[in-house]
Amino acid sequence: MSSSRDFVRFLLPVVVLAAGIALWELVVRVNDIQPYVLPGPSAVFQTLVADWPVLSESLGVTLLTTLEGFIAAAIGGVALALLFNQSKWLEYSLFPYAVILQVTPVIAIAPLLLIYLQQQTAVIVCAWIVAFFPVLSNTTLGLNSVDRNLAGLFSLYGASRLQTLRYLKLPAALPYILGGLRIAGGLSLIGAVVAEIAAGTAGAGSGLAFRIAESGYRLNIPRMFAALLLLSVAGIVIYGLLALISHLVLRRWHESALRKEN
């Protein structure tokens, strides 16, 4: 019963996608729309294949930036949350600035960063700025969600701060941390793209977003679509990978990863 339901859930979006692509192609052909106005899906696909050497290199650059930004965000977010958890003073002093960094639109910060930092560094910093906050706030939430009785048990058995952190707080916070990382994965891609776009006008980049900006100036619309498609797929893959990791880590014990009964 449920497997046929799963099949339908998988099938429906695929049908919608296929219908959308067919309709798009049809509209382009029937109205004889030029590729520099709106390329059909077949033209986009042809460009993707023809321009693969250029596009794949750009994809590699963007993915590397995203990965670096993501790792920096993961380490930075968790480390800051741990520091805040150990010292209230530190939390009170610094947390407002983490919020300010988060609420200021990164697209407005990017040009400034590009002035003061090397481009590659600036792009990674952008990715970090956008992505670290969900890790920080989720980890903080997780560290504060420890079962009170378990905490009592640890103090009864004379656990040190480090032991409490390692054996109680971190495992208890793990589902929250993984949730934060899942958000951060997508956000670091956004951060990388924003910074590349901002830098792209200066003409020194080579990532996918730079390709989009560059192709725009050249009215190479099919390539814009092809690059956009790659970015989209990259985002989906990143999210899927992180969701998979989260599931594998939590499947033995956490409610979120358990199959529903009956």
Partner 1 sequence: MAGPALSEADAMAVRLGDVTKVYDNGVAALGPLDLDVKRGEFVSLLGPSGCGKSTALRLIAGLTTPSSGVVGVSQPANETRAGHAIGFVFQEPTLMPWASVRDNVRLPLKLAGMPPTEADRRISEALAQVALSEFAAAYPRELSGGMKMRVSLARALVTRPDILLMDEPFAALDEITRFRLNNDLLELWRKLNMTVIFVTHSVFESVYLSQRVVVMSSRPGRVSAEFRIDTPEPRVEDFRMSASYAAYCREVSQALVPSYSGPTSV
Residues that bind partner 1 (CB under 8 A): 147, 149-150, 152-159, 163, 167-168, 171-172, 174, 252-254, 258
Instruction: For partner 1, give the closer residue by CB, 93 or 145.
Output: 145
Question: 142 or 186, CB closer to partner 1?
Answer: 142
Name the residue nearer to partner 1 (CB basis): 175 or 222. Answer: 175
Per-residue three-class SS string for the chain: CHHHHHHHHHHHHHHHHHHHHHHHHHHHHHCCCCCCCCCCHHHHHHHHHHCHHHHHHHHHHHHHHHHHHHHHHHHHHHHHHHHHHHCHHHHHHHHHHHHHHHHCCHHHHHHHHHHHCCHHHHHHHHHHHHHHHHHHHHHHHHHCCCCHHHHHHHHHCCCCHHHHHHHHHHHHHHHHHHHHHHHHHHHHHHHHHHHHHHHHCCCCCCCHHHHHHHHHHCCCHHHHHHHHHHHHHHHHHHHHHHHHHHHHHHCCCCHHHCCCCC
Least CB distance from residue 144 to partner 1, whole Å?
17
* Cβ 247 to partner 1 shortest distance, Å: 15
Nearer to partner 1, 115 or 156 (CB): 156
User: Rounded CA gap, 228 and 234, in Å?
Assistant: 10
Give least dist CB 83 to partner 1, A.
23
Looking at the Cβ atoms of 45 and 154, the one nearer to partner 1 is 154
Q: Is the Cβ of residue 21 or residue 151 nearer to partner 1 in the bound state? A: 151
CB of 225 to partner 1, least distance (A): 45
For residue 176, the minimal CB distance to partner 1 (Å) is: 13
CB of 78 to partner 1, least distance (A): 17
Measured CA distances, 219 to 146, 209, 216 (Å)? 56, 15, 5
Find the shortest distance in angstroms from Cβ 148 to partner 1: 9
CB 190 within 8 A of CB 130: yes
| Closer residue to partner 1 (CB): 152 or 203 | 152
